Amino acid sequence: MLSGKLRSAVIIGGQGIRARKLRTFLSMISLFMGVLAVVTVQAGAEIAERALLTDVELTQGIDGTRAMYIPDNGAAIVEDTVRGRKDAVAALNMSAIIGEPGVRPVNEGGMPFEYAGQGRGGPRGYKWCDQNGCYGAEETQAPKPDGQAIEVRLYALTGDVRTFRPFRPVSGQWLDFASAPAMAPRLVLNREAAKGLRQYHVPAEMQVTGASANMTPQITGVVDDGGMEPAAYVRIDELRTWLPSTAKQNGGQGGPGLQLLLSPGTSDLEQTLRARLVGLGIPADQVQAHEIDSRSRMSSQLSMMRWIFLGLAALVLLIGVAGILNVGLATVGERIEEFALRRAVGTSRMLLAGIVLSETLLTGLLTAGAAIGAGVVGLKIGSQIFGGRHPSLQGIEFPWQAGVAGVIAGLVAGILGGLIPAIRAARIPIATVMRA
């Protein structure tokens, strides 16, 4: 019985659409724009979210982590306090050059290798001074020759920093903090540093300003740390063999030397450390820890943006709905006699309304399908055209959420646009066929 109804509906609906192909097509165009707008916003938001949020925890730290920047004169005491702890890790960062000694690294300044050769090197003759004397002037006289070396940012860790920054393994092994320290410091590179090493075939020799001698590091693995610039990670105790904590560092260019990351719920340790640092004469307001909330802040900003754009897309969709509604009403007006006649030959009111509704619903879904298809193709073409310039756009997949949003938009538009015409169709009195 139901199948009789359904099959009748399919035949009648099909006849209706076929008799008005052009009109159906025209009503699809305005709806197409609306659904495409929704699909585009959803896809854009998903891609942006993925690009920004996945790496934010790697670079900034997991939300809830407490971070503290320690002035240079407090570094030693912090290093001592957190040594061997799992709930607090200190990272000392400095510049390091891997490769031939005494040459200018290909990516001077530690920039991504994409910009290698355009070295930050600064204007020749650049010279800066502090209370310890002047630097850079000699370089102007005798610039270092270019050579096989790369510059990286070296992070010396007191413990496993992945508790706070969940690096993704790429190859090899992460640092082993349990074993006895090795004479040749073990290094883990990030992807950019590994790329530089591969590209420039540099010898395994590492120079750090202030170190007693050049080191011969052993590279044990590669991780994705979310960073764009070349970086390397090392156990601080292995580095200390070569670089005593008393050594003068020029490394802290662009940032404090020591960052301390603390697990949530370690306020005792935090209190102790602050007390000790203040005891050293560091002003209390310089040793404030702050809680990391980058991810939640960023995602709330992103979702606000998404809602704004979705609102705009909904307006476009509304225009599409108005279009389909307009066409639906005009069609019903035109088909009054047909509907009256169909009811006269025994088609029920409900079935008739159902047919009108499913005609627009079908139109809506077909449109959604077309818009999703256009989105998929557009994304593919876009990622091919712009993928070269923006690596984050390479190999991007069409997010399924955008597809779902498109189907929902098509359904909603079909229902909104078809309901009123359907109700009108059901209300047509049969006697219309006798009063012509």
Partner 1 sequence: MTALIQSPLIQLSGITKTLKGQDEPRTILSGVDLTVHSGQSVAILGRSGSGKSTLLSLIGLFDRPDGGQYILGERDITKLPERKAAQLRSAEFGFVFQRFFLLKHLTAAQNVAMALVNGQGWHSRRKRKAKVLAALDQVGIAHLAKHKPPRLSGGEQQRVAIARALVREPRVLLADEPTGALDTETGNLVVDVLLSATHRGCGLVLVTHDHDHAAKMGRVLSLHDGKLA
| 319 vs 433, beta carbon nearer partner 1 | 433
- Shortest distance, CB of residue 369 to partner 1, whole angstroms? 26
Query: Following DSSP, what letter does each residue of 290-329 receive, concatenated?
Result: EE--HHHHHHHHHHHHHHHHHHHHHHHHHHHHHHHHHHHH
- Shortest distance, CB of residue 397 to partner 1, whole angstroms? 44
218 CB-near residues (< 8 Å, 6+ apart): 182, 184, 185, 186, 187, 204
- Shortest distance, CB of residue 380 to partner 1, whole angstroms? 40
| 329 vs 430, beta carbon nearer partner 1 | 430
Strands (E), 146-299: 149-157, 168-172, 186-190, 206-208, 218-224, 231-235, 258-262, 290-291
Q: Which residue has the tokens 């603390």?
A: 262
Q: 408's torsion region: left (phi>0), alpha (psi -120 to 50) or beta? A: alpha
Return residues touching partner 1 (CB under 8 A): 1, 3-5, 7-9, 11-12, 15, 18-19, 337-338, 341-351, 429-431, 433-436
| 4 vs 283, beta carbon nearer partner 1 | 4
The rounded Cα 74 to chain-centroid distance in angstroms is 35
- Shortest distance, CB of residue 367 to partner 1, whole angstroms? 23
| 88 vs 351, beta carbon nearer partner 1 | 351
| 142 vs 345, beta carbon nearer partner 1 | 345
Query: Following DSSP, what letter does each residue of 52-91 receive, concatenated?
Result: HHHHHHHHH--TT-EEEEE-GGGHHHHHHHHTT-SSEEEE
325 and 416 in contact (C-beta within 8 Å)? yes
Q: How far apart are CA 116 and CA 175, in angstroms?
A: 28
Half-sphere exposure for 225 (CA within 13 Å, toward CB): 28
- Shortest distance, CB of residue 351 to partner 1, whole angstroms? 4
| 157 vs 362, beta carbon nearer partner 1 | 362
Q: How far apart are CA 261 and CA 292, in angstroms?
A: 10
- Shortest distance, CB of residue 9 to partner 1, whole angstroms? 7
| 3 vs 141, beta carbon nearer partner 1 | 3
First to last CA, the chain: 34
Helices (H) and strands (E) in the chain, counts: 11, 12
- Shortest distance, CB of residue 13 to partner 1, whole angstroms? 11
264 and 64 in contact (C-beta within 8 Å)? yes
- Shortest distance, CB of residue 2 to partner 1, whole angstroms? 10
Q: How far apart are CA 64 and CA 266, in angstroms?
A: 11
| 104 vs 343, beta carbon nearer partner 1 | 343
| 228 vs 430, beta carbon nearer partner 1 | 430
- Shortest distance, CB of residue 432 to partner 1, whole angstroms? 9
Classify residue 73 by burial, with Cβ atoms within 10 Å: 0-12, 13-18, 19+. exposed
Between strands 88-99 and 149-157, the pairing is: antiparallel
